[in-house]
Amino acid sequence: MEEEALGLSRALAGQGNTLTGSLRVTSSDWFGMHVLTPVFASFLRQHPEVSVELVTDSRQYSLARREADLAFRITPFEEPDVIQRKLLHMQYALYGHRDLVVPHAGDGQGAALIGMDTAFGTLPDVTWAGRMLPRARIAYRSNNRGVQARMCAEGGGFAVLPCALGDATPDLRRIDLGEAPPGRDVWLGIHRDLRRLARLRALVDLTVALLGDQ
């Protein structure tokens, strides 16, 4: 009964063909702040009668349960009835404060690293940093990329960051060790019952137009 009720709710919501109402979007914190918010600002200027709620959380919100209308993730969606597409490939780089001495690739002796917490210790960029700077010490960990960037800007060490975040953080510079860290794909998804919702279609179309890989 609950699933039938949720399905009816999605179907009714998907019938809306006017650019009014609200949209709930979910993404990671740094992506929402540095990548999505400028796009959403442009969207709201074009459609002032629509409101957008952006929820930044490491938890994956369910599209089927109407916890979000639009979701952005770094892995493909596995939920049934989700329409998805790869939006873009996000480049990553090693960053450090402009005054720090660049460590030697393959060594890292004396350098401090800022990385993900242990729960995310198998991410590709974490593995890359350990391989490129095996003798560097882990000085600071956080599951929040924005926190990592802030500590990096404070001179607390070197961090592998998404370029959209690292390039936008004052006092940071990219560090070239001869090999770039692996990037990540970003996927967007909506529930198929909402594919005809005009305001959602308009937001997706603008997002793809401004951010999508060509």
Residues 149 and 166 placed together within one structural domain of the fold: yes
Please report the pLDDT score of residue 5 as a whole number.
Answer: 38
Residues 68 and 15 placed together within one structural domain of the fold: yes
Please report the pLDDT score of residue 57 as a whole number.
Answer: 82
Please report the pLDDT score of residue 214 as a whole number.
Answer: 53
Residues 84 and 115 placed together within one structural domain of the fold: no
Please report the pLDDT score of residue 128 as a whole number.
Answer: 96
Domain extent, residue 44, equals 2-89+185-211
Number of structural domains the chain divides into: 2
Please report the pLDDT score of residue 13 as a whole number.
Answer: 47
Please report the pLDDT score of residue 118 as a whole number.
Answer: 83
Please report the pLDDT score of residue 6 as a whole number.
Answer: 43
CATH code where residue 100 lies? 3.40.190.10
Q: Find where tokens 């951010």 sit.
A: 211
Q: Residue 146 and residue 137: Cα distance in Å, rounded? A: 20
Spatial contact of 200 and 69, defined as CB atoms under 8 Å apart: yes
3-state secondary structure (DSSP) of residue 187 = strand
Spatial contact of 190 and 204, defined as CB atoms under 8 Å apart: yes
Which residues of the chain are under the pLDDT cut of 50? 1-15
Residues 80 and 109 placed together within one structural domain of the fold: no
Question: In DSSP terms, which residues pair with 143 in a beta bridge?
Answer: none
Q: How far is CA 47 from CA 18, 19, 41, 51, in A?
A: 10, 7, 10, 9
Residues 61 and 110 placed together within one structural domain of the fold: no
